[in-house]
Every structure is written in C-alpha cells, then in structure tokens.
Structure 1
C-alpha cells in the first residue's frame, strides 16, 4: 500500500483530511508544520517509508528543495478564493490580498462579481511577504487575506488577517496526483534502493539491522561516529557494535520496520556533546519559561467602542513602567490582555511570570512570591526580574502578603522617581471590586493606591451585543483555520437568538459555544437549528431556580450522561472555562474532562 505524508501548514487542514473517506490504494498520515518546521518533519519522513509528501505554498517549495521524496503541492483554486472573499463580504474596512501570481490571478474578477473592493499585492518569493504587508498597512489596508506566511506577517504587524483555507476538492485533487506519482515512482525504483538512498541523505547517524541482528545498513554519519567505514560495519553483530558505544554515543531505536527492505530495525546515533548541548538547552528553557506569553493586541476584536474604552489606553500604557490593574468579569480576556501588554512593553525580552493567587494554599503564598532567604530559594518576584509579574485574582492574596507586595511595588516606584528602570513590571487582574474590599477590610489600601492609577476595565459581553456579529466574524475566521471548516457566516435569526442570551461567561463562553456550533455545522452558514439546542441548555443553567429544581434538571427522559454534561458545562462556566480548575472541582482527571468536552457532536 502506498504511504503519503501530509504536512499541513495549519491545523484545520489536518482535520479536513481526517474527514475524507479512506482510500484502498494508500494510507495518509498528517503532521502540522509550516516552512522550517514543516521541512524538519519532511526530512524525518525520508527514513519512514513514505512515498510522497503533500503540502501547500512555501512549505511545499521548501521541502522540494531539501528532500528527495516527491512533493505534491496543494494548489489554491477558485473555490478557495471564492470562499475567502464571500467570508469578508460586508466588511467595513479596506481589504487586501497578498499572494503568488497563481493565488492572486482572477481575484479581481471574483471580487467584482461579489461587489467587493480588494487591493491585490503580488509576490514571487516568501521573503517578499513582509514588505507586501508593510505596503498594505501604509495604504490603510486593515484586513489582509493570504496564506500562512502572509497571515503570520500581518499579525506581527498588527494587521487583521484571514487565512485562505483549502477545501476538500483541492485536497482530493492533491491525493489523486500523489497516487499517480507514487505508482510511477515504484515502477522506476526498487523500494530497498529508495530507502537506503533516503537514509544516506540524513544528517545524523542511522544504523539498519536485519532479522538476524546483523548490520545491513550504515550511513556515512553513523560510520564516522563509530570510527569505521560503512563497508566495514556491514555484517557485524549489532549487539557487539552497540556495546562499544557505551558512554560515547546515545543509541535510540526509531522503530521496527515492516517492509521488504531486509531491515528489521532502525537506530539513530547521537554523540555525547550534541546530547549534552540539547539537554542544557532544554533545561534552560524549562527553568526560564514559567509562562508562554502568547497574547497580542490583535487577538482582541477591536470595535470603535472597545478602542475608545480601553484598547487605545492599553496600547499606550504598555510602553510605560508603572503597575497596571486589569478588572473585568470572568471570560473578558484579562489574561490575554496582560500578556499583550507584556509583549509590547520595555520588558518584553524578559521572563513573563504568571501566578493565580487562588491556585495555591494561602500559607504558601508568601514563600512562592518572595522566596526563602534562609534557604536561598528564589521567589516569583526574583524570577520576574527584568520581565513581568502578573498576579491573577490578586484579591485572593492574604493581607500580610498584600502589604509585602505593596512594599515591593513602592521600591519600584522609588526607582521610577529616580528615573531608573524598576526591577520588574507588575500587572494585576481581578474580577472583584477592590474599593469595596478595602472598605470591608479585605484588601490593603496601600496596594490599591499603587494599582488604581493605571486601571483598565474590560466590559462584559452583554454590554456589547450590538457588535456581536463583529465578534462572531473574527472568531469564525480563526475557527475556519483551526478546525478545517469553511463556515461563511451566521443566519440573521440565529444571530438574534445569540443576542438574547446574557453570556455570563463573556467572550470565553461565546468562543466555546461557537466552537461547538462550527464543529457540528455541515453547511456554509450557522442556522438557528444548530444554535437553539445549545443556548436552550445554557439558559436552563443560568436560571437559578431551575438549577435548584431536581425535577427540571433530571427531566422525564434525560439520560445520566446528558445530566452530567449540563453539570460539567455549568461548573466550567463558573470556573471561567478553566479546564484545570473545573476538573479539580469535579474530582475528575483533566484528560477525562477534555474528552467529555470534545466528544463527537458536542
């Protein structure tokens, strides 16, 4: 059977492949990787018996230049362009499309038919994408359509972007082409010679061992590492040869081979200095990376109201050095905004240390934050040096810890007064009313004074329902990319239904609901038939008397699984869609919770 590897530049393409019917003539495996990462996956695939690699755009071109396996490129066809332009129809800003000539060709005609104004930017190499994005931005383009590289460049430049996703017809066409190429390749070359050629091209040591335990293949790098020639290694007993490598080389079994090459097993060899270097890098990354601050300002859907109320202010304040307080209900994006502020701040090259005050026993809070001088244990304040410390739900700190934190911030303030850079940037976030907590003696006044000068209040979603269609537009653009869907919009009655819901979980809940709807959506538009069952269940849970009513919860014919699903969703909303804290509260394994939330049709 033929064996293909799809290297998908985005997650949704891999998911789309899994939805296609299985073929009798070939097996298709998929990995997600773009450009250099995709090339790494492709180079590893050369030793795993694949016949053809399938990819798209610049990733396909890069793989073709560095890998001996045949490469089939998934072309962007008219259906893909039509879907992308239909999706942005009605967008109120200026739209641009960036791509190679084969992508941009015909866009003007389609855009004219759809009555959409689109500015085209043609590039001939991937490295030209950045300049094209900068040019588009200078011309006032605020929405860019393009491939994965273009979308990445646009997001780095702070420009909204929509990925041109490939539909099932393009993927089926690529699979058919791969089948033709693979059959021809097998006719021209013996599988044994092909495998040896692939293994010899690898840039690290590879040893093949036959069913008798004798070396049947040794590439150039393995021979060098073993201090012999490849010819001399042939026929030697692998057990004896590998025993002599102890302390000098690390041997790793890749896998047992099930083919007709005469090989029974494949081993990789790594020299000691290389392994030590990799281990040091891994330890350093693990020690320094307490959090991965992925948040960016462009992740927020920016309407005029949002920009005026807090986004413009957040962007300006990110450049300052003073502490920032972010307030807002659960699910309004406090953590993402804190990360975005760090990533745009003078401390962006330093560590980002994030701490949830309610995630640790109260008696350990002081030790975690300030360390133990007697034992020279480093606290989070020290770990955040030259970076950012973010404390989520700061109101849950004990009062003595709050006072000690206020003193540390006072030292930072003294550095500012002396025109020096504070030791670290501090961001606090909370859903609580801190002024009320001060009056009740539950929050330190001095700490509030230090924080409240630069306060950002995030509004709840229920105050922004007039812009709900705008939020849905951007969330659908992202979900089409990650889920491999081509959902173009939402029907008016379904949108009206969504506007009736109070959204206690705010934007996090909206994204969860849309994800469930999009996963189940088979057409191009979300309908009220898909939305109603989900919202009706959520409305039942937001009705407190109904929650207390066992009769309404159980119902006349509901299964235990359905009842459990409602309880899980209710607790998930209360915990701000945090799966770790939800699993802990429900007394279940986090993996089990993830599986329940991602079961088919949910």
Structure 2
C-alpha cells in the first residue's frame, strides 16, 4: 500500500521530537517534519510541496498562511484543553511572578474556565486582532507582569519586550488527531501539484529573502526569513524598478541608515507576455559576532534568575541598583555557579541596547578593536588560573579605554586576589561572591522548575513538574555548588521520565553524577541481562561522561542525534 506523504511544519522546535516519536505507530504515513514559523513556515511548505507531499500539517497562524500559499490541503493542529491545562500548570510553578495568558477567544475561553476551576493566579487576556498583541503586552509589562503564555507570535513579541515567554505547546493527543484528520482528508481531497513559474525562478537564484513585483510596483509574491516584512516603501520599489529598466542590468543597492543594514539586488525577467522584477535581500550584519575565543550578542530577554534564597535575593537586589548599570563588577564563584547568568541579568535588567560580550582575558588584545567597533555595552571577562603578570599593564589600559566608551567591565573568576584586581585597575569594582548550591537550598525548587520548563520548550520533554516526595529526594543530594551539574541531572531525569510528573522512582533509578562517581566502570553492566539493556547502560554511561550533551554523546557512539533520542525513549 502506498504511504501518504505528510509534510509537518512545526512553528517551534520542541514539537519535532514529539512528531518523531509518534512516527513509529503510523505505518501508513511517511512523515517529514521541519521547523518554521509564519513566513519561514510558508517557504518550507512550498519546498515540501515540490518534494511531492500529499498533505501538509501546521499550527495557528503558520497553517493559515500556508493554506493561502500552496495548492495542497493543509491541516491545522488544534489546541486542545489538555494543551492549555499542561501549559497553565507549568506556568503556575513559577512562584513570585505575575503571569498572564494572552490569545484569541478560541484559546482564552477554555483557559478562563481552567483558571477559574483550579483557582490559579493567572490573568487571561483576549485579543480582538493580531495588531493588539504589542500594545496589550506593553500594558501588562507596565503592570508588572513578567511571564506571558501564548502562541509563537505572542511569545516572540513578549521576549522582544524583555518578558519571559512560555509557549502553549501542542501535545501528543492533538498531533495524533491532526494525523487522523490528514488520513481522512487525503481520501476525499487531493489537489494537483503545480510548479509556479515565479517559484522556479527564485529557487534557481537560491535566495531566502525576496519578493516579486510587476512593472507598476505591485507585489505578486514575497518570502521572508531573516527579515520580518518588506523593508521598502512603494516609492523605493518604483525607483529600483526604474533603475533596472534604464540599465537593463541587475541593480545593487545598500541600505545602511537603518537598525539592521541590508543590501538589495534587483533584476528583471520575462514571464510570457509581461516583465517581472525580483528583489533579493541580504543582511549585512547579524545579532551575534564571533570574537577570538568569545562571542558578542544582542540580548533582548531577561534571563531567568532563581533568587528565593536570602543569599541570591541580596545579590539580585544589589544588581538591580541603578549605579550597577555602569559600575565595574568582580564576580567570584566556583565553575558553574552562574557568573555569566548574573552578568547577562545586569545587561538585560538595565535595558542596555548595545552588545553583550564574553571573552577570556587572554584574548582581550586580539579582540580589542572589534569590541571597540561594535560598541559593546557590557563585557564579561573570564579569568582562569593562568598568570597575567606579563601583560597585566596592557590589559589595564585596554579595560580603561573600554570603560571610557561606556562599556561596563565585569570580571569573572573562581577567586580574585586583591593584587590582581589592583593590577587591572579595578580597585573600585563591586565584588560579589556567588553562593554554592549548599547555601541556596531555597532556590533548588525554582531551579529545577526553571530547567524543566527550558527542556519542555526546547526538547519537547514530557515532565512539567516534580512530585513532592521526588523533590525531597532531590534535596538529599549533596550539590557541590555547580548549577550546571544540577541542570545536567534534571535534563537526565526529564529524558528518563515517561509521564508528565517526575516520580520518586525515576529519581532513585537515575542517580546523580555525585552519587555514581565512586562506582567502578566495571560495574555499570550490573543487572543487565539482555543486549538491549547493555546498550542502554552504555548510552547512559557515555551521556554521563559527556555531561549529558546529546550531540557529543551521539558522535562518540557513532550514531546521529535522532537515533540517540529514539533509543533513550525506548
């Protein structure tokens, strides 16, 4: 029996692993899953159409745009009550935050009922039209709301305003329902696939951002990937068309007097009886820049900071003082204790518009000119135990120049001797020592929930909370001050747990690295009686040795990441 070819365009990354998992039970379907939201999703849908798909599936606004752009039938993954309930319960775990759910009435009516029945402290706001998103979010932000639940567009808009977005994801039930609907639709409706002359030409050009217009400037077709919308006025479009007509050659124009510079290459071509004009766009700069051994980036979202313990509350309040928006800072703490997170928090909380850069102190000289040209507003300099006496004076001068151009300098080290601070000219820096996890027991539950939220959003893991007795078991671990170690362990539990709540049994069956580091490697086959069990233990051992980094573990095991993910789910 010929299988039904289904193209699944997910608006967000975390849906793809769920689709991959559900593939196993769909013997009559051949599913190709890709990720792309709105206009990018439309472009991917067109590519899948050319590849011979029978049916396309997507969600929300992306599904609507795709339906208008292709000849194939398009299924919309509906948002179920289960999806709303999971997301609302996930949000309710973020204590101390004002939370709101923002969406159209098809979402908010059900959400309001859930919130009322369960007596959850969550404001529900209904949108009348898409243009209401930004003003409503701005109002909520002014009222002190920091976490927003919604669809992809709402979450992205919230993040641009510096708020924490929590995406309402589609669960397995909704995805299975869409696959069943695809079966029914395929039996009753198959549209003929058609190659569009315009699209053939644009594919040959291998460009991502483009639009096609007539001689009068009417836009016939547009596709945006790195650009949100057409960045030209009708006057500018007509002027470029006139230049192409006059020269009969491609015209290249560069726009630099904008927030993100770009170039346009305009060409003309004959489509039967008419002349059409293609405009291809290219970004001239990105929001991130690679430095020698470091990275400079634009930060638009306040990073999550677990600060319920007395020690971290005091640090957070200090970092939020206005004078610390520019003052030099020295952060001291064990590796993995969160020094970079605090530096990012300072940058985002004080709403700095420039770049945030992280750089090892040994690479400062090589990257100095780039830092100066980029107008970095916050520079985190990491210091190892290597001696700096040979070039401390030169570093001191460079740090002084950066500070003079309004770059806040933050030094980060495990421990900073006073003589080193003096030699770098940082005598007036505010010194902050980060507490170990042992001194942050009040933050443990928040950190665990924060990590579960992150993995649920990025990896599509199932658990959204931890059972009380399982949390008590977690608290018995002797965390040695390494937040990264805790995060890696929670990732391990999130992958191991097959239900929506992490149970005590899952914690007991999956000990932390601190609990297992004393065990001999010769013993890790203990209890394995089949080849499959031995394989599972080998995978777990390699994951542990690679700090639960699935990409590195898959490379060591000689398999791809999707195969590793599938084996972990078995």
Q: TM-score, normalised by structure 1?
A: 0.69
Q: What residue in structure 1 maps to residue 257 of structure 2?
A: none
Instruction: Report the Cα offset of residue 101 of structure 1.
Output: 0.7
Which among 462, 485, 509 is matched to residue 438 of structure 2? Answer: 462
SS in structure 2 of the partner of residue 27 of structure 1: strand
Residue 520 in structure 1 maps to residue 492 in structure 2:
no
Q: What residue in structure 2 maps to residue 155 of structure 1?
A: 159
What RMSD, in angstroms, separates the aligned Cα atoms of the two structures?
4.3
Q: What residue in structure 2 maps to residue 78 of structure 1?
A: 81
Correspondence list, 1:292-331, <5 A: 292=297, 296-303=301-308, 305=310, 308-316=313-321, 320-331=325-336
Which among 388, 404, 422 is matched to residue 445 of structure 1? Answer: 422
Q: What residue in structure 2 maps to residue 27 of structure 1?
A: 30
Q: What residue in structure 1 maps to residue 8 of structure 2?
A: 6
Larger radius of gyration: 1
Cα distance in 2 between the residues matched to 1:470 and 1:302: 8
Preserved contact between residue 21 and residue 566 of structure 2 (Cα < 8 Å):
no
Change (3 A) 1:409 1:138: closer
Q: What residue in structure 2 maps to residue 474 of structure 1?
A: 450
Change (3 A) 1:302 1:75: farther
SS in structure 1 of the partner of residue 120 of structure 2: coil
SS in structure 2 of the partner of residue 120 of structure 1: strand
Change (3 A) 1:8 1:75: same
Preserved contact between residue 98 and residue 120 of structure 1 (Cα < 8 Å):
yes
Q: What residue in structure 1 maps to residue 398 of structure 2?
A: 408
Preserved contact between residue 358 and residue 381 of structure 2 (Cα < 8 Å):
yes
Change (3 A) 1:40 1:401: farther
Change (3 A) 1:400 1:86: same
Cα distance in 1 between the residues matched to 2:378 and 2:550: 25
Q: What residue in structure 2 maps to residue 195 of structure 1?
A: 194
Q: What residue in structure 2 maps to residue 555 of structure 1?
A: 523
Change (3 A) 1:349 1:64: farther
Instruction: Report the Cα offset of residue 36 of structure 1.
Output: 3.0
Correspondence list, 1:334-483, <5 A: 334-343=339-348, 348-350=353-355, 352-357=356-361, 365=362, 368-371=363-366, 381-382=371-372, 385-393=375-383, 395-396=385-386, 398-412=388-402, 415=404, 421-422=405-406, 424-435=407-418, 438=419, 443=420, 445-447=422-424, 449-450=425-426, 453-483=429-459
Change (3 A) 1:401 1:42: farther
Cα distance in 1 between the residues matched to 2:127 and 2:524: 62
Deviations 1:572-596 (A, max 9, x none): 56xxx8999x99xxxx978969969
- Number of residues of Structure 1 aligned to a counterpart in Structure 2: 495
Residue 601 in structure 1 maps to residue 561 in structure 2:
no
Instruction: Report the Cα offset of residue 165 of structure 1.
Output: 1.6
Q: What residue in structure 2 maps to residue 501 of structure 1?
A: 477
Preserved contact between residue 7 and residue 31 of structure 1 (Cα < 8 Å):
yes
Preserved contact between residue 304 and residue 450 of structure 2 (Cα < 8 Å):
no
Residue 62 in structure 1 maps to residue 57 in structure 2:
no
Preserved contact between residue 353 and residue 389 of structure 1 (Cα < 8 Å):
yes
SS in structure 2 of the partner of residue 98 of structure 1: strand
Instruction: Report the Cα offset of residue 297 of structure 1.
Output: 2.7
Preserved contact between residue 94 and residue 446 of structure 2 (Cα < 8 Å):
no
Instruction: Report the Cα offset of residue 526 of structure 1.
Output: 0.5
Q: Is 321-330 or 493-502 further displaced after alignment?
A: 321-330
Deviations 1:22-74 (A, max 9, x none): 42433211111222332332233332222332111222223334444332211
Cα distance in 2 between the residues matched to 1:537 and 1:428: 30
Cα distance in 1 between the residues matched to 2:335 and 2:408: 23
Correspondence list, 1:165-314, <5 A: 165-186=169-190, 189=191, 191=192, 194-196=193-195, 199-202=196-199, 204-205=201-202, 281=284, 290-292=295-297, 296-303=301-308, 305=310, 308-314=313-319
SS in structure 2 of the partner of residue 532 of structure 1: helix
Deviations 1:326-352 (A, max 9, x none): 2222222222333444456686334x4
Instruction: Report the Cα offset of residue 396 of structure 1.
Output: 3.2
Which among 53, 60, 63 is matched to residue 50 of structure 1? Answer: 53
Change (3 A) 1:462 1:535: farther
Change (3 A) 1:566 1:169: closer
Cα distance in 2 between the residues matched to 1:178 and 1:201: 29
Q: TM-score, normalised by structure 2?
A: 0.73
Change (3 A) 1:592 1:311: farther
Structure with greater strand percent? 2
Preserved contact between residue 333 and residue 507 of structure 1 (Cα < 8 Å):
yes
Change (3 A) 1:539 1:566: farther
Change (3 A) 1:571 1:77: closer
Q: What residue in structure 2 maps to residue 213 of structure 1?
A: none
Deviations 1:396-449 (A, max 9, x none): 352222221112233455x4xxxxx34x443321122433xx3xxxx36331x5
Q: What residue in structure 2 maps to residue 241 of structure 1?
A: none
Instruction: Report the Cα offset of residue 122 of structure 1.
Output: 0.5
SS in structure 2 of the partner of residue 429 of structure 1: strand
Change (3 A) 1:455 1:494: same
Instruction: Report the Cα offset of residue 17 of structure 1.
Output: 0.7
Cα distance in 2 between the residues matched to 1:305 and 1:169: 42
Change (3 A) 1:287 1:408: closer
Structure with greater helix percent? 1
Change (3 A) 1:125 1:28: farther
SS in structure 1 of the partner of residue 14 of structure 2: helix
SS in structure 1 of the partner of residue 479 of structure 2: coil
Please list every run of 5 or more consecutive structure 1 residues that lacks an aligned counterpart in the other structure: 208-220, 225-247, 250-269, 358-364, 372-376, 416-420
Residue 115 in structure 1 maps to residue 119 in structure 2:
yes
Please list every run of 5 or more consecutive structure 2 residues that lacks an aligned counterpart in the other structure: 205-211, 216-248, 251-265, 269-276, 529-533
Which among 121, 146, 149 is matched to residue 145 of structure 1? Answer: 149
